[in-house]
Amino acid sequence: MPRVGRRSFLKIAGASAVAASSRVSAQASPDVVVIGAGAFGGWTALCLRELGASVTLLDAYGPGNSRASSGGETRQIRAGYEDRELYTRWVLTAFERWKAREQEWGRRLLYETGRLLLAPEWTESLKVTKAVLDRNRVPNEVLSHDELARRYPQMNAEGIGVALFEPTTGVLKAREGCLAVAEAFQKKGGRFRIAQARPGTRAGSRLVDVALSDGTSLTARTFVFACGPWLPKLFPDLMSRKLFTPRRDVFFFGTPAGDDGFSYPNFPNYAEDDTQGYYGFPSIDGRGFKVCPVGERTPFDPDTDERVVSAYQVKRARDYLALRFPALKDQPIVESRVCQLEMSVDEHFIIQKHPELDNAWIVGGGSGHGYKHGPVVGEYVAARVLGKDRQPELEDTFKLKTRTF
């Protein structure tokens, strides 16, 4: 990534001197304050720092914390996106970035598990997904019911007529990835602080500072609010009914003693009926076979709601195991989590300037698929903030839509 010097950064950012707030913190004003150290904010802060900006990254609870949408053990990196080819292309870049960072940081974050998209029959959605994968040279294979049953005797293929297999799809370490990004950011001279922030003083169309939970404030030339499911709390007028944050119960079931048939690399990720169904991953590092029942519509408060799985979702997960993976049906749950999604109205990311503030950016709306794109989102947002990316079509895709939930 090309670096720009601090002087040119200031020129590009184009800010006039900002008025000092009455109670500023002792720290000198950075060029950019990024609020939120999840997948989107963490990568944005790192990329901005690598481009030469002085950056402070703030998080109320810490990178990849248990309340964040980027928290938890694992997230999937898949290339199949039906006709949303932009994301397929971004995933291909993301794969390269994750692999390069693994090398740079000397830690493993990506497991190439492969992924089975299971369906009763060859549907229009599978057809479109395959066409996009082919066009982008993403390896894939169509498996018949019989071939599926032959390759994966651990799975009961009853009712599955066909599967689209993406062998290069994988699993990313989620929480650990956020910690790795924050660590790299700090090693490269970025400043990280635990603090809850809210928009502070305004001067015309500029945000002067953010008000912090310790009573101080922090000035900067540019602010990036990458607060995931918290965005409506920070910007109630702008974001109310633009983000929906339903809960998701996630289960890790024990694998049978002495049996590695449900563990990486012996079984791939799987997904069945995207809207009401299930998906999951093989056990990685002995953490258990992951099962996520989807479709829950109960809104979740990321600060205050308790993260205890519901009896209803436990039953759904167990019923699914009994049907599809009968050898696991009596295995105990060895770990469980409750997370919240941050769905935008059209499931596109939201990346735009605040409509009333020339120097404040809103970044979020990962919509259940954002984690894997972190490195690419970070590069893209950093370039936008620096005025170095002008792609009107993308700007349009990522702008806040007028539609509401």
Ligand X SMILES: Cc1cc2nc3c(=O)[nH]c(=O)nc-3n(C[C@H](O)[C@H](O)[C@H](O)COP(=O)(O)OP(=O)(O)OC[C@H]3O[C@@H](n4cnc5c(N)ncnc54)[C@H](O)[C@@H]3O)c2cc1C
Task: Provide the binding-site residues for ligand X, judged by CB under 6 A.
Answer: 35-41, 58-61, 65, 68-70, 75-76, 196-198, 226-230, 234, 248, 250, 339-341, 364, 366, 368-372
Residues 317 and 325: their CA atoms lie apart, in Å, by 11
Output the six-digit token pair for 377.
């989102």
Strands (E), 320-368: 333-340, 343-344, 350-353, 360-364
Closer Cβ to ligand X, 66 or 136, answer by number: 66
> From the CB of 158, what's the least distance to ligand X, in Å?
26
> From the CB of 46, what's the least distance to ligand X, in Å?
13
Render the burial of 278-287: b for 16+ CB within 10 Å, e for the rest: bbbbbbbeeb
The total of other beta-carbon atoms located within 10 Å of residue 329's CB is 14
The total of other beta-carbon atoms located within 10 Å of residue 320's CB is 20
> From the CB of 309, what's the least distance to ligand X, in Å?
12
> From the CB of 376, what's the least distance to ligand X, in Å?
11
Closer Cβ to ligand X, 165 or 251, answer by number: 251
> From the CB of 299, what's the least distance to ligand X, in Å?
13
Contacts of 207 (CB under 8 A, 6+ apart): 199, 200, 201, 223, 354, 357, 359, 360
Closer Cβ to ligand X, 221 or 290, answer by number: 290
Query: What are the phi and psi torsion angles at 50 (to 5°)?
Result: -70, -20
> From the CB of 335, what's the least distance to ligand X, in Å?
13
List, in sequence order, the alpha helices (H) in 293-344: 311-324
Strands (E), 1-99: 32-35, 55-59, 74-77
Closer Cβ to ligand X, 157 or 381, answer by number: 381
Output the six-digit token pair for 103.
């090398």
> From the CB of 39, what's the least distance to ligand X, in Å?
4
> From the CB of 150, what's the least distance to ligand X, in Å?
28
For the chain, what's the residue count? 405
Q: Are 372 and 75 in contact (CB under 8 A)?
A: yes
164 exposed, middle or buried (CB, 10 Å; 0-12, 13-18, 19+)? Answer: buried
First-residue to last-residue Cα distance in the chain: 38
Residue holding tokens 């060859």? Answer: 122
Q: Is 121 helix (H, G, I), strand (E, B) or coil?
A: coil
> From the CB of 49, what's the least distance to ligand X, in Å?
17
